[in-house]
Amino acid sequence: MLAKVEIADKDLSNARLTLSRAAALDPRLPEVWSQRASLEAVEGRPSLALQFLEKALSLAPDSTDALTLMVVVAMRSGQPQKAVDAAEKLLKSNPQNPEFLYLHGIASLQNGSLDNARMSLESFIAARPKDSRGCLALGMTMAAQKGQIDAARQQLLRCVEINQSNYEARYQLGLSYKVQGDVATAIQFFVETIAIAPNYPPALRDLGTMYLQTGDEAKARLFLEKSVSLDASDADTHFQLSRLYNLTGERERAKTHLEIFQKLKNPQRNSTQ
């Protein structure tokens, strides 16, 4: 319990010491392994967090705390099937629990199981109509389904009505117009997103991309360079910068970003060379 408080207070070094003492006293206590997983997740080590969660669940297979954390950490680790499996166990234990429905919905969305995602998220919205997490996730689910783009936008606009500061909903609205080639409307929503969240790299990248498409290279440079300064691990930003620098005659810079793009897109291939 002390370690849990220390993690919440961001006193991570002491939390690690406390958990080491707890593990030495009782290594078969599931909560110790769950809290160790929480600590590793907070410190950006999701793979190690997953190992600790699997240990916790081997000791307490029905632990809702461990299963809930497993959904979140597995999604962050790019292992959506593990997230879905954990979410299904949660739902089996309590099918009407709104949080379990939400977790199952977003895990299914990441896993590409759109019908399952939609079913769980619609149930979540019915239980919590004012929770903007639901309409955001359902809007993203519908946007990925054929012929559902208008219904997706209705959900995303509902999110904005519920919470005017919901920048993620505005960003998703921008994406919905971007994929349909409506550049002007996409730019409008990306600009609105950045007005609320000025350091949100995906919106900066996509706004820069839209300006590049319209031939406004100066604005494209402004937003793409800011995006890459905030998130240098995004391959698409490097690709767009390569395009920009080729257009402006900066060949060496274009080549550098194209090489970074290729490395990020094919990490296994590059590691064997």
Query: Widest CA span of the chain, in angstroms?
Result: 65
- SS3 assignment for 214-251: HCCHHHHHHHHHHHHHHCCCCHHHHHHHHHHHHHCCCH
- Rounded Cα distance between 113 and 109, Å, is 6
What residues have CB less than 8 Å from 155, skipping those under 6 apart?
A: 135, 136, 138, 139, 142
Query: CB within 8 A of 59, min separation 6: which ones?
Result: 28, 29, 30, 33
């391959």: which residue's tokens?
Answer: 235
pLDDT value of position 3: 86
What mean pLDDT do residues 151-173 have?
97
Tens-digit pLDDT profile for residues 215-252 = 999 999 999 999 999 999 999 999 999 999 999 999 99
Of all residues in the chain, what percent carry a pLDDT higher than 70? 97
Domain 66-164 class?
A: mainly alpha
Contact partners, residue 225, CB within 8 Å, separation at least 6: 241
For the chain, the structural domain boundaries read: 66-164
pTM of the model: 0.87
CA distances from 104 to 51, 85, 90, 93, 109 (A): 21, 9, 8, 13, 8
- Confidence (pLDDT) at 268: 61
Cα 154 versus chain centre, distance: 22
Give yes or no for residue 69 having a pLDDT over 50. yes
Can you give the pLDDT at residue 143? 96
The per-residue pLDDT for 269 is 58
